[in-house]
Amino acid sequence: MSARDSSEANAVPPAEISVLEQRYRRLLLLLPRHYRELREDEIVATFLAAQRARDRENFDIALRYGAPSWQEKRSIMVLAMRARWAVDESPARSRIRFQAAQRAVFGMLTLNAMAAVLALTAHIVMSVAPFDAETRPLLPGELVSTIGLWGAWQNYSYLAWLAALPLVLVGRRWSLLTAAIIAQLPSVTTVTRSGFGWLTVLPVALWLALGVVLVIMAMCGVRLAITRLKLWLGTAASAVIFLALIQTIAYLWMLSVAPAHLAEVPNVLLLYSALAADDTAWSAWAVVLAAVIVAGRRVGASRDTATWLAITYLAVGLLLLRVSSGWPLLTLLPHHYQLTSSAAIIIAGVIIHIAALLTVALISYRRSRRTGAEINNA
């Protein structure tokens, strides 16, 4: 039965509406419109029947003063998410939106994992490179003895993103959530204690939003099929392309702003790794923006649409965030480091790194487009 037929069938004359029923109907506003048209009266009747069965003697009082319980509210919230995203009968527009949001989140996780790889690489290179003792980063053992376990966790928590990416691929929802919390918690506490005042509100809100998105994904049971994974490669590849481009622009901009520090290679590497680590915030922005933009636009029912939407939103989000997040860059301006003999090697390494990222991203992007087209034609 179509939604229209059903809504016509639902057009029954209204009874006297009690306060309890009004509250139930208000709760059901969480459900998408197409679903309400199909089921609202039926669900309200079930709610009221359950209420009557629970306390038959005081049912009249409940009608006047009763309210939905927390369990009822929670179950309707979960149903609202399922009805929007996970039900096959939901309109194509809703499904496409959900696919776009899923892919944006996947792109975000890819960015975070990539940032973790970059930060780790920078750390390892700086540990083994012939820098002086002041420049060399502390090893994990030294870090724990110097700044304690909590400090060490703050420094290495980003590594949890490396675990999060494969966890989402295999559909381990609660493990994914744990990894996200491990990765995010130190960031949130660090930002709140950083003394930037109102500037900290936005990053904290973003990180919390990221957590909420992950919870929603977990509740909706994100589990990627192989075919869908191939399609999602496009999103991830695009994220990498745009990130590498933005990083390159930022890097060149930094050099133009501070030409006197061109040869201060350790700083360049520090800056590079810091920018990479900052990707958590960039990608969280991308997710929030994607959700807002997707919610506000009419989307066609093409399967490719979700991919392109997700790519576009990620790109726009990353660019906007890059523009809006000027303040962290100011804190990363080079200080007073000595020139080392390995400058050229490391600069070359950074450039090769970016070039390799771009190449890999382009190859996987072209491949995923081809795979997507094959799936669509099948």
For binding to another protein (CB under 8 A), which residues are involved?
1, 9-10, 12-15, 39, 41-47, 49-50, 53, 71-72, 74-79, 82-83, 87-89
- Output 87 or 229, the one with its CB closest to another protein: 87
Closest approach of another protein to the CB of residue 134, in Å: 58
Distance of closest approach, residue 221 Cβ to another protein, in angstroms: 11
Enter the tokens of residue 251.
């890097």
Q: Kindly tell me which of 39 and 123 has the beta carbon lying closer to another protein.
A: 39
The number of C-alpha atoms within 13 Å of 270 and in the hemisphere containing its C-beta is: 17
Tell me how far, at minimum, the Cβ of 43 lies from another protein, in Å. 6
How far is residue 131's CA from residue 134's CA, in Å, rounded to a whole number? 8
Query: In the bound complex, what is the minimum distance in angstroms from residue 24's beta carbon to another protein?
Result: 9
- Give me the least distance between CB of 223 and another protein, in Å please: 13
Buried residues in 122-161 as b, exposed as e (16+ CB within 10 A)? bbebbeebebeeebebbeeeebbeeeeeeebbbbbbbbbb
Among residues 75 and 146, whose Cβ is nearest to another protein?
75
Closer to another protein by CB, 67 or 129: give it.
Answer: 67
Rounded to an integer, what distance in angstroms lies between the CA atom of residue 13 and that of residue 98? 35
| Residue 105, phi-psi category: left (phi > 0), alpha (psi -120 to 50), beta (remainder) | alpha
Which alpha helices (H) appear in 259-302, and where do they start and end?
A: 265-277, 279-295
Q: Which is nearer to another protein, 38 or 143 (CB)?
A: 38
Burial of residue 175, with CB atoms counted within 10 A of its CB: 0-12 exposed, 13-18 middle, 19 or more buried: middle
